[in-house]
Structure 1
């Protein structure tokens, strides 16, 4: 059913990485250490797997130092994942931030639902004050479970007490979107802020001017 024929959402949920803040660690490492060195490191070390441990709630510093110690050839570069997190998780996606704030001005409850570590989120929140502006925040590291596991969506539903069909969720990963849709949530695959703005207008939550 398209947006024009679905119930008006009662709450909107934003993913964070690649929705509100760019999450392209390969590109950021290219800037910091050069492409050739980055390619060699990512080929040798499962850095995304390391980050998934953070997203499940493991200690920010400890996991990265443990990984760095296992790969001494790339130790200094791996430690940047901790020491230079602010250089990895950037820049903010300005139009998406404006949409978050426009929804709040319009009186629409806005939640975060993101795979994010406890320590890394604390750094990003300090870097990006808009991360404190949500009505509710569902951060996987604090919840002990990550998308797309069904449990995290169940936990959101229980906590916010909004019917699944009245939740509108955007995420850049199709698997996360599919899991939410399977529970009856309204969903939008984020491919850029303009498409998300258009969806919010179509859902009757913002005017075109408010979504600009």
Structure 2
């Protein structure tokens, strides 16, 4: 059975988010940026905010452990918006086209409940989803099964009805194990081709013709 519903990840699929965009402004070179994000403000530290921990707590704890880096750590919250690189070219357009032809469009995103409203102000297309599951609100994160199950319950759909799109291989594997159709995101062009092949969207060339 082909899917009839599309479920997007957001960061890395629709929005380009990367802490390096901020820290390239604050640190002297790329090696310093890489080291800071690997050793201080790490992906694992960031994930606790996606799981629902308040930034104030996480920042205070890390500053206590790295007092010499306190200003840089505090910037992670105070200048968070500078980590946003903009829309990923073409993907938001596909979201709009799916909506226009009546395909139900949802999202499951690992994102802090505190920063998501700030992203929503910058990217109005984040209001387009029929059901939006944000990890920081639910205190559940991908790739663990409960966040996918929460989405299915809230949307009132079955996994086999859904095409789940994510740039993270672990999240794709988790969704596939639950029965979702999946698309490991690489580019808007490849996604468009997959949507067309599934009959969810006409290819741009067909539309133009």
Is the aligned partner of 1:199 residue 2:194?
yes
The equivalences for 1:43-54 within 5 A come to 43-54=38-49
Of 175, 178, 184, the match for 1:180: 175
Secondary structure, aligned partner of 1:118: coil
32 and 198 in structure 1: CA distance in 2 versus 1, 3 angstrom threshold: farther
Partner of 2:107: 112
Secondary structure, aligned partner of 1:81: helix
38 and 168 in structure 1: CA distance in 2 versus 1, 3 angstrom threshold: same
Is the aligned partner of 1:190 residue 2:154?
no
Distance in 2 of aligned mates of 1:102 and 1:43: 38
Of 134, 142, 146, the match for 1:147: 142
Partner of 2:120: 125
47 and 208 in structure 1: CA distance in 2 versus 1, 3 angstrom threshold: same
User: Contact 1:97/1:130 (CA < 8 Å) preserved in 2?
Assistant: yes
After TM superposition, the score normalised by the length of structure 1 is: 0.90
Distance in 2 of aligned mates of 1:174 and 1:28: 25
**Structure 1 residue ranges without an equivalent (≥5):** 1-6
User: Contact 1:197/1:211 (CA < 8 Å) preserved in 2?
Assistant: no
Partner of 1:12: 6
Distance in 2 of aligned mates of 1:88 and 1:125: 14
After TM superposition, the score normalised by the length of structure 2 is: 0.91
**Structure 2 residue ranges without an equivalent (≥5):** none
Of 166, 169, 185, the match for 2:164: 169
Secondary structure, aligned partner of 2:143: coil
How many pairs does the alignment contain?
A: 206
Distance in 2 of aligned mates of 1:22 and 1:128: 11
